[in-house]
Structure 1
Amino acid sequence: MSYFNIVAETSENTVVTEYEPVKRRSDSYQSEAELEQEFIRMLCEQGYEYLPLHTERDMISNLRERLQELNNYEFTDKEWTYFFNNDIANPNFSLQDKTRNIQEDYRKVLKRDDGSTKNISLIDKTNIHNNRLQVINQYVMGLQDGAKHDNRYDVTVLVNGLPLVHVELKRRGVQIREAFNQINRYKRDSFWAGSGLFEYVQIFVISNGTNTKYYSNSTRDNAIRDAKAGNTKRGKTSNSFEFTCFWADANNRVIPDLVDFTKTFFAKHTLLNILTKYCIFTSENILMVMRPYQITATERILNRIEIANNYKKYGSVAGGGYIWHTTGSGKTLTSFKTARLASQLSYIDKVLFVVDRKDLDYQTMKEYDRFEKGAANSNSSTRILKRQLEDNNAHIIITTIQKLATFIKKNPGHEVYEKHVVIIFDECHRSQFGDMHTAIVKNFKRYHLFGFTGTPIFSVNSGKAKNPDFFTTAQTFGDQLHAYTIVDAINDNNVLPFRVDYIKTMDVDEEITDEMVWDINREKAMMAPKRIELVTKYILDHFDQKTYRGDKTYIYNTLTNIQEVASAERGAVEEIKRSQRLSGFNSIFAVASVPMAKLYYQEFKRQMELDPTKHLRIATIFSYAANEEEVDGLLDEENPEDTTALDQTARDFLDGAIDDYNKMFHTNYSTDGDRFQNYYKDVSLRMKNKEIDLLIVVNMFLTGFDATTLNTLWADKNLKMHGLIQAFSRTNRILNSIKTFGNIVCFRNLQKRVDSAISLFGDKNAGGIVLLQSFKDYYYGYESVDGEHMPGYVDMVEELKEKFPLMDPQIIGEQNQKAFIALFGAFLRMRNLLLSFDEYKGNELISERDLQDYLGRYQDLRDEWRRKRENNESADITDDIVFEVELIKQIEINIDYILMLVKKYHDTHCEDKEVLITIKRAVEASPELRSKKALIESFIAGINDVEDVMAEWRDFVVGQRENDLAQLISEERLNPENTRRYIENAFRDGEIRTAGTDIDKLMPPVSRFGGSGRDKKKQAVIEKLKQFFEKYYGVGGAMSIGGTQKVVYGERRGEIGMVAEEKR
């Protein structure tokens, strides 16, 4: 590493360069109280002040003193009362408003008693060491403060008197997830109570001593909102425990133990830097806390700019460098923060962020706008780019290589070339970049060139022998400033590992993969009609298995106005989103050429017409007959803007495929100009919405396209190196606990290429981390690299049947119950993993009936323990217990299945009691149908001689729902119109919302209640609304004002509709 980098490393780096863990002094048992005392002692040693503060009155008094100290001003009592009640503890402030108070509006205007004004800062972001850090513990928020239950919080860090960081501890040996759940309970029960100061917490830290993680208040807040939604939103979004983060050093070495975490994360300058610099409060009101590798990369670039400026090394590779952060690790967020902070340096005139495709330009702009509205400027033409480069107020500009190249070509000697600029390139590996690089170096005089890449070009994969103009990433940008590889990302659970299947499709020597041998005759054999037919049949036969299609598994925010967004000028139409229930995931099929894409598309249509039960929503897109593969493994870039490079045959075929697409989605696209660009955008948006099941591509969508709903790549294409990792990485974005890996199904023998690519972009031992074990390993168990035996599926089933046989009427004793929950949870996770293996079918070892019985017991225990906790029967009732709710939901029985059984019962003239037992078992096993048990039993009891059970059920539900709602309105004396509108919105959004003033609008007039009486009444109404919602949500169609029903069409196989539509 160069001299400049060494100079830039200082003790004030937010992330420590290299951390050596502290040697443990004791192996003796450590209680939670002892852990807490040790933590506080370490904070005090690091300069925190301990306060024996336990009540809100004391907290408000301390807050006043700290703000007076920070602002060098003493409030009068009148000024303080007004300021506190209006600018800090305003009862109308939501959690988002309080977050904005810290992240954006931290300077307030105080109106003094004499009529003059003064700026009051809640936090000093310019000189962070002006902020006072204090620590408190065992703070009590109880019933007298208006809380639902008495709560005692573990440890809280006050910044200038405001609680900005909260720490929840569990003793060593207890699952860290329970600390996460504990904080969720505080949010539900008491954070909002009193003056609501604990809603100012920005960052939460959870630890069991051994493992320690941090996360933002949005993760916690959204997790609570998801939990409130009648158990309907349990998939892993950015709201769930899986999005909590470990802290690490700059070498990506995780720092899990609380002692080490405290010495690094809680170092005063580190914590204050994170709070003041490395949090982003997005335009969607989500607080994002950057991860250590993102912070390190940002600071390394800023340090390089600073040192290069001081030593006049700008205008050379010594003034730049590159960041190697693997695909999917959040490079856009890192680049945004880097660009934002670089643009604030006094001597920097412009920051240019350069992408290599028009669609990525638009996508990046949308992301930047999400991070901070209006922070960056994008351009749809070179003319606009020129205007922005000449505008002194346009500090951050997003553009494409093509537009920047055109600008330089048309504007020799432009004044911008004399400006001091930072130019950041994102994944620019195309061959045209060599020319672009030369043009920049030749024209700009004072530049710092930085590259962000997930797959750097090294000498081994540069293809320099075939293309001497192509440079390695280091030759182009300079030193590698930071690396965060795919191995790091998988270890940190930031992206998923891959599971690769190799499906043999030809009776030839599959080991022959050398490019010289792979001649035109071999490619013709690959396109043989019989082979195309077999591969297509394999995909159709295995699609549901690989993508988990067919079960209601998760709620997802889908875009509802796709066609308007796709057809409008960028940003001209606001995106409208709503929560929808989606079933399974979707996939991309990467093929070798346009002729092959055509053959597959036609074969899919033919086979689906023969067997409508295997219907998929299929689309295809390409813009020219790309090369089969590039020598360096780089995927040849297709142009999403026009199709002029296509021959007539290919264009006619694509027009036909687009015509099919138009019929499927009621659109009007074609291969002509703007209509093709809009088709590209529409396909992109519908892939993200999971409205397309399978997209056939040649090279498009294999780089730079992110869709968390995509979990499978089918590959009939010779991928290698950079292109292979980029294509595979389309599948490994984190979404929920059902999606545990990216599925890769190769119809060519790419095993050596996969191993080579993973070794190059991870390390030589990366295969065991990046790729999953074999079916045999998971099924029978295996030895880990540490020599530990990892139990297999067979072991788990045997233990389940032996220790918890279904013939025993119940599981007695708390320890036995804990053991069952832990074992059955492990079984559910392993079953979820095995479901995508072809070999699992027929080797389940447990019948569907027994599985339902076990699920019923699991649910009974979950309900029982939740009731005990809510009734405060045991403070630590769920210590080291985690219920796998998402996985229960994945295999749950839906209402259609129950109605099919009811019809079967009806067809036996209501005499087959075995069917009733099956119905009872199925309802007990389902987390969603349990709340509808009484409704289903009432329907069965009253069923008469009817022709259509489904129609009878719908009519029954609508009638019952209307009666129950009318009764609820009458009993609680609610406003009828407002209540109906509120319920309609709840059914539309998939959750009961309790934040804001919505509930207040339903309540009887204020005069009927006073103080805490009204709060109790409000809480009782909320509980009844939740019970009503849980009983009727998901059955009987949508609600609408006045009791009339909106028809929501269900998804059926063989039916052309949108996956995003509600499924009944």
Structure 2
Amino acid sequence: MSVFLRGGGFLVRERGLEDFIVDELVKRGWRYIDSMSLGREGLDKPLIYSVLRRKIREFNPGVGEEDVSEAVSLLEGRGFGASGAREVLEYLKFGVPVKLGGSRVSARLKLIDYSDLGRNEFVVSRQVIHRGVREIRNDIVLYVNGIPLVSIEVKNPTEPGVSWRDAFLQIKRYEHSVPELYKYVQIGVAIGARAKYFPIIPWADPGKVPIYEWREEGLDSIGSVIEMLRPHRFLDILRFYTYFRMEEGRESKVIARYMQYRAANKIVDRVLKRLRGEDNIDRGLIWHWQGSGKTLTMIFAAMKLYWLLENPMIFFVVDRIELQNQLYYENLTKLDLGPEVKPKLIDSIDRLRQVLSYNDYRGEPGVFVVTVQKFQPSEFEELEKFLKAIAMSRPGTVMDRMDIILLVDEAHRTQYGVLAEQMMRLLRKANYFAFTGTPVPRRNPLKNTFAKFSPPGELYLDKYFILDSIRDKYTVKIAYQPGPFDYSLNKELLEEFLESEFDELPEEVRRRVERHVGKELDIRKFKVFLENPERIDRIAKYIAEHFRENVDGKFKAMVVASSRRACVLYKRALDKYLPPEYSEVVMTFQSNENDTLIEEYKSELTSRYHVMNPRDAVQKIIENFRTEDNPRILIVTDMLLTGFDAPILQTMYLDKPLKGHRLLQAIARVNRPYRGVKEYGLVIDFVGIFRELEKAFAMYEREDLKGAVFDVEEVLREFKETLQHLLQLIGPKPVVESDEELFRYVRIKAEELARNRSLEKEFTGKYRVLRRLYELISAKLSRDDIEQYKWFSNIYVFYVKNFVGSTPEEELAERYYKKTIEAISHSLQVLEKEAEFSPIKIDREFFEEFIQNKNIGLEDKASALIMGIHKFKLYAHNDPIYVSVADKIEDLMRKWRRRLKNSLELYEEAKRLWEKIYALKEEQTKLRFGRREYLVYRTLVDAGFKEKHALEVTNKLIEKLKDKISLHGWSKNPKLVRDVERITALTILREARIAGFTIDQARKLIDLLVKRLEKSDIEQ
């Protein structure tokens, strides 16, 4: 159901949508106050001091006025940067640290009452003006106890080319315009036809800010985000689901996705109900697909329980050292979890024993990371017996505590073994929650995650699987294609592996497998085949060719080899066909390698990276893969097949027998979205496992695997279906005799898009999908399919160039859509040559020739002039001439789109506007002004300055500013921006008074000048 529906029609105006949002927020507990009645002490003061002071007194009985003033002063005094914002968030969660009465006694004064939410004051206001570097007007602001915490911007959902992204970028500009406001604001909401939310990170570029869409059953995204902002839920998100985090060496901020919030709260609710005696369920299974962020879900649940319970013990349980280090070093230690919160790594069995024996066997409170392997029965049998012996006489030991929570990662692997049994016997009253992206299937009764962690009658506590994740665009689809048939395992070996009990053949258990399995699975035969140097060399040559043609320059790749020896062989082979720096091996090394080939490579690796321990080199390689150009291909066998997250990874070359959950885990490495240009992750199968797909996933229910993996032939079908949809929408390529005739049809179709918002939205959305698919399967397309694709590509390119301009995705087109660019290169040249239909040149001779051309009809002339002028707006919007005619261009485009005038009227108006643009260009040339000088001059003249006076003021102002604005990038330096504003204000206030301006008019002119100067710096 759409929340837009009201009285049988859609809300179409920006202000109407704004009204609706405010009304819905009021229904959910926010109190509306007009912006002029908020009680702020000035436009440069974001806080409502009277409310804030009153609430501090109310929440902190007994504090003096000096203490209240100190708390407000400390809050207000935080800086604009990351450290200041981090302190503000800490104060919002835990209170402001104040020395009471000036004494040495320190206490945290609460700003928000989280224990009794009704005592807080929730206010929504709209059209709120703030003044900083420049003046802004926020559409909607949400205040809690006088502190602005949410900024909402709304854009007209029916306006062509406008979306939630414009609202998002507006908030990003506002962060810079009024940093004093945005050091308090925690969440931004951008609304167009859809609604998105994101953490406020003023120092981060727009592309570095995580943007999410909330989802509630039965509601669209706007209704869902309104539900997210219910007062009690918003404070829950603020307190427990918003954190600072270090990412790539810089401070960032995380906020929960809706499925993370939902799952974590289910865990917390289950634990609290059990502790209150409301039920006795002590476990649950969280089934979230790889890439959905389940590590953060675990952390969100853990930290909420940590703060709600009194001295709990919380364990993150993993089954691999690699995952332990990822969880601890790459996640927990990089999150600012709160004052004095220090998660601890249990790095030995002795340390685990100390934690459990602490405080007379009551256990050490805190948050811990431990591997399940440390629960060795031989090490803990005595402790278990001792605890059982004293349980009757002295309850409250770790064996009987119910406030112990274990969050078990990837529970399908070892958690059904003897180690997990020991853990569960020792902590028999604890709460166990398993997290998995690929659960052990219900068909295997011996290894059933559901039976181990799900209470009777419940399969899962929360589920977010493959199709959910693809729908929400948190992951992309995975396609597979077979490698050359003669490289694959023969049918006999493949059947032998598929019918065995093993999901893979880890190197470290090979000897044990050979000794105990014997006839069931002859490992030696696999080894001889998969480690054959000649075979590996042939595959490496294939990989190199495929990588160069399809991956390099856009994405990165991973080779999954069958063993550590095979990894080294692949590295040697790939170095023959690609530059050596392109590929690196990521695997574990033994202190004394038995294999000479591996030992030699280890020595080479440590020498090349100037380290003693190969583990340090491996960590550097992983880091470089994510952040540097090289390496471009990782060669692995076991490491990184779980838990490794690198969105740039798009192609996996699979040469290792895997099945079941291990296969799902491995291929999921390529399913992360990347810059909006990755439609599929691709797996090329050299083993042949995907030829027997049903057997490889035989243990799963078919329903559970929907959307897990697609044959490339299915991708081809998707392309053809999308192509067919566009054929019905736009029509096929016409039969023409010349490029010029084709161009005319292209222009007509592009104009149809420009005049029809719903058609434009449907066409551009479908075409972008088609374009991403084309890059993947162009070699499999028929000639006719390619011709139709080129037809749609020409329409799309023409439309974007003439009616949209530069967008983030189109800026990436040349790099990521090389095959499309190649396919339509001739057409692009024709488009460029047909200058009469895009007169962007401000040239009198060209214009006169165009006007006199009798071969062009009146309607075509009108459209061509209008498109040319609009193109001037798109590509010369930073030109000082544009600022003088922007409104006229918009008005002309509106009349053309809505057909408000006939062709003759539009033609005459377009001619007059073109003459105006030309006259302004002539004026700039005559004055001998550069871009910035003319920008200032035209702004002053358009505001009402006499031309002579404007000339004097322009020269005076530019002379004063030249040292500040001459350096490109000055607008990103807060000090330089403040200097520019100060100098502009001092100069213009005096001159505007002479010109007869009021103070208010002068201030608006100052804001406009600074804004335009800043924009000219950003876009030069």
Q: How high is the TM-score relative to the length of structure 1?
A: 0.65
Between the aligned partners of 1:587 and 1:365, the Cα distance in structure 2 is: 26
2:124 corresponding residue in structure 1: 135
Contact 1:793/1:827 (8 A) holds in 2: no
1:580 corresponding residue in structure 2: none
Q: Evaluate the alpha carbon distance shift between residue 617 and residue 848 of structure 1 in structure 2; reply closer, same or farther with a 3 A threshold.
A: farther
Query: In the TM superposition, what is the alpha-carbon distance from 1:588 to its structure 2 partner?
Result: 1.4
Structure 2 matches for 1:730-879, cutoff 5 A?
A: 730-751=669-690, 754=693, 764=703, 767-768=706-707, 771=710, 774-782=714-722, 789=725, 805=744, 815=754, 827-837=767-777, 839=779, 845=787, 858-859=800-801, 861-862=803-804
2:575 corresponding residue in structure 1: 605
Structure 2 matches for 1:76-115, cutoff 5 A?
A: 86-87=73-74, 89-90=76-77, 92-94=79-81, 97-98=84-85, 100-105=87-92, 107-108=95-96
- Report whether the alignment pairs 1:703 with 2:686: no
Q: Evaluate the alpha carbon distance shift between residue 438 and residue 110 of structure 1 in structure 2; reply closer, same or farther with a 3 A threshold.
A: closer
1:712 corresponding residue in structure 2: 651
Contact 1:388/1:397 (8 A) holds in 2: no
Contact 1:99/1:200 (8 A) holds in 2: no
Between the aligned partners of 2:71 and 2:157, the Cα distance in structure 1 is: 40
Secondary structure in 2 matching 1:304: helix
2:555 corresponding residue in structure 1: 585
- Look up the equivalent residue of 2:813 and give its one-letter code: I
Match of 2:265 among 287, 299, 306: 299
Query: In the TM superposition, what is the alpha-carbon distance from 1:540 to its structure 2 partner?
Result: 1.0
Structure 2 gaps of 5+ residues are 388-396, 500-520, 823-831, 834-838, 841-867, 880-954, 990-998
- Report whether the alignment pairs 1:617 with 2:599: no
- Report whether the alignment pairs 1:343 with 2:314: no
Match of 2:813 among 888, 903, 924: 888
- Report whether the alignment pairs 1:544 with 2:508: no
Contact 1:149/1:190 (8 A) holds in 2: no
Secondary structure in 1 matching 2:644: coil
Between the aligned partners of 1:494 and 1:752, the Cα distance in structure 2 is: 28
Query: In the TM superposition, what is the alpha-carbon distance from 1:723 to its structure 2 partner?
Result: 0.6
Between the aligned partners of 2:48 and 2:408, the Cα distance in structure 1 is: 45
2:495 corresponding residue in structure 1: 514
- Look up the equivalent residue of 2:599 and give its one-letter code: D
Query: In the TM superposition, what is the alpha-carbon distance from 1:435 to its structure 2 partner?
Result: 1.8
Quick check: 415-424 or 494-503, which moved more? 415-424
Between the aligned partners of 1:809 and 1:889, the Cα distance in structure 2 is: 25
Match of 2:627 among 689, 696, 705: 689
Match of 2:12 among 9, 20, 31: 31
Structure 2 matches for 1:1024-1063, cutoff 5 A?
A: none
Match of 1:182 among 154, 160, 167: 167
Query: In the TM superposition, what is the alpha-carbon distance from 1:46 to its structure 2 partner?
Result: 3.2
- Look up the equivalent residue of 1:885 and give its one-letter code: E
Between the aligned partners of 1:312 and 1:84, the Cα distance in structure 2 is: 40
Between the aligned partners of 1:782 and 1:804, the Cα distance in structure 2 is: 23
Contact 2:213/2:225 (8 A) holds in 1: no
Once the two structures are superposed, residues 885-944 of structure 1 have per-residue CA deviations (whole angstroms, 9 ceiling, x without a partner) of: 343353599xxx9xxxxxxxxxxxxxxx99xxxxx99xx9x99xx99x99xxxxxxxxxx
Query: In the TM superposition, what is the alpha-carbon distance from 1:319 to its structure 2 partner?
Result: 1.7
Query: In the TM superposition, what is the alpha-carbon distance from 1:352 to its structure 2 partner?
Result: 1.5
- Look up the equivalent residue of 1:130 and give its one-letter code: R
1:490 corresponding residue in structure 2: 470
1:325 corresponding residue in structure 2: 288
- Look up the equivalent residue of 1:682 and give its one-letter code: K
Q: How high is the TM-score relative to the length of structure 2?
A: 0.67
- Report whether the alignment pairs 1:226 with 2:205: yes
Between the aligned partners of 2:707 and 2:728, the Cα distance in structure 1 is: 17
1:634 corresponding residue in structure 2: none
Secondary structure in 2 matching 1:460: coil
Between the aligned partners of 2:57 and 2:958, the Cα distance in structure 1 is: 55
1:245 corresponding residue in structure 2: 213
Query: In the TM superposition, what is the alpha-carbon distance from 1:727 to its structure 2 partner?
Result: 0.2
Query: In the TM superposition, what is the alpha-carbon distance from 1:715 to its structure 2 partner?
Result: 0.8
Once the two structures are superposed, residues 728-778 of structure 1 have per-residue CA deviations (whole angstroms, 9 ceiling, x without a partner) of: 111112331123322211123333655677797785285457537735335
Secondary structure in 1 matching 2:430: strand
Cα RMSD of the aligned pairs, angstroms, is 5.5
2:220 corresponding residue in structure 1: 256
Between the aligned partners of 1:52 and 1:706, the Cα distance in structure 2 is: 46
> May I ask how many residue pairs the two structures share in their alignment?
824
Contact 2:198/2:209 (8 A) holds in 1: no
Contact 1:855/1:888 (8 A) holds in 2: no
Secondary structure in 1 matching 2:600: helix
Instruction: Report the structure number with the largest CA radius of gyration.
Output: 2
Once the two structures are superposed, residues 547-591 of structure 1 have per-residue CA deviations (whole angstroms, 9 ceiling, x without a partner) of: 2x23xxxxxxxxxxxxxxxxxxxxxxxxxxxxxxxxx32221112
Contact 2:56/2:68 (8 A) holds in 1: no
Between the aligned partners of 1:494 and 1:203, the Cα distance in structure 2 is: 20
Match of 1:654 among 590, 598, 609: 598
Structure 2 matches for 1:24-173, cutoff 5 A?
A: 26-32=7-13, 33-54=15-36, 58=40, 63-72=48-57, 86-87=73-74, 89-90=76-77, 92-94=79-81, 97-98=84-85, 100-105=87-92, 107-108=95-96, 121-137=110-126, 139-141=127-129, 145=131, 148=134, 151=137, 153=139, 155-170=140-155, 173=158
Q: Evaluate the alpha carbon distance shift between residue 299 and residue 768 of structure 1 in structure 2; reply closer, same or farther with a 3 A threshold.
A: closer
2:328 corresponding residue in structure 1: 365
1:352 corresponding residue in structure 2: 315
Query: In the TM superposition, what is the alpha-carbon distance from 1:54 to its structure 2 partner?
Result: 4.0
- Look up the equivalent residue of 2:237 and give its one-letter code: I
Q: Evaluate the alpha carbon distance shift between residue 98 and residue 128 of structure 1 in structure 2; reply closer, same or farther with a 3 A threshold.
A: farther
Q: Evaluate the alpha carbon distance shift between residue 820 and residue 125 of structure 1 in structure 2; reply closer, same or farther with a 3 A threshold.
A: closer
Query: In the TM superposition, what is the alpha-carbon distance from 1:147 to its structure 2 partner?
Result: 6.8
Between the aligned partners of 1:810 and 1:324, the Cα distance in structure 2 is: 47
Secondary structure in 1 matching 2:495: coil
Once the two structures are superposed, residues 588-647 of structure 1 have per-residue CA deviations (whole angstroms, 9 ceiling, x without a partner) of: 111234454454333323444xxx6xx66222344xxxxxxxxxxxxxxxxx46365x6x
Between the aligned partners of 2:228 and 2:981, the Cα distance in structure 1 is: 46
- Look up the equivalent residue of 1:483 and give its one-letter code: K
Quick check: 691-700 or 84-93, which moved more? 84-93
1:501 corresponding residue in structure 2: 481
Between the aligned partners of 1:534 and 1:727, the Cα distance in structure 2 is: 23
Once the two structures are superposed, residues 774-802 of structure 1 have per-residue CA deviations (whole angstroms, 9 ceiling, x without a partner) of: 3533543359xxxx946599978779998
Secondary structure in 2 matching 1:835: helix
Quick check: 842-851 or 689-698, which moved more? 842-851
- Report whether the alignment pairs 1:378 with 2:345: yes
Between the aligned partners of 1:660 and 1:260, the Cα distance in structure 2 is: 55
- Look up the equivalent residue of 2:238 and give its one-letter code: L
Quick check: 370-379 or 1003-1012, which moved more? 1003-1012
Q: Evaluate the alpha carbon distance shift between residue 108 and residue 489 of structure 1 in structure 2; reply closer, same or farther with a 3 A threshold.
A: same
1:203 corresponding residue in structure 2: 187
Secondary structure in 2 matching 1:343: helix
Contact 2:328/2:345 (8 A) holds in 1: yes
Secondary structure in 2 matching 1:500: strand
Query: In the TM superposition, what is the alpha-carbon distance from 1:472 to its structure 2 partner?
Result: 3.3
Between the aligned partners of 1:369 and 1:501, the Cα distance in structure 2 is: 40
- Look up the equivalent residue of 1:653 and give its one-letter code: L
Query: In the TM superposition, what is the alpha-carbon distance from 1:393 to its structure 2 partner?
Result: 7.0
Secondary structure in 2 matching 1:884: helix
Contact 1:151/1:190 (8 A) holds in 2: no
Structure 2 matches for 1:413-562, cutoff 5 A?
A: 413=386, 417=399, 420-431=403-414, 434-461=417-444, 464=446, 470=447, 472-475=449-452, 478=455, 480-506=460-486, 513-515=494-496, 531-547=535-551, 549-550=552-553
Between the aligned partners of 1:605 and 1:1007, the Cα distance in structure 2 is: 62
Query: In the TM superposition, what is the alpha-carbon distance from 1:1017 to its structure 2 partner?
Result: 8.7
Between the aligned partners of 1:111 and 1:995, the Cα distance in structure 2 is: 35
Q: Which has the higher contact order (CA 8 A, sep 6+)?
A: 1
Q: Kindly indicate which of the two structures has a greater share of residues assigned to helix.
A: 2
Secondary structure in 2 matching 1:764: helix
- Report whether the alignment pairs 1:279 with 2:242: yes
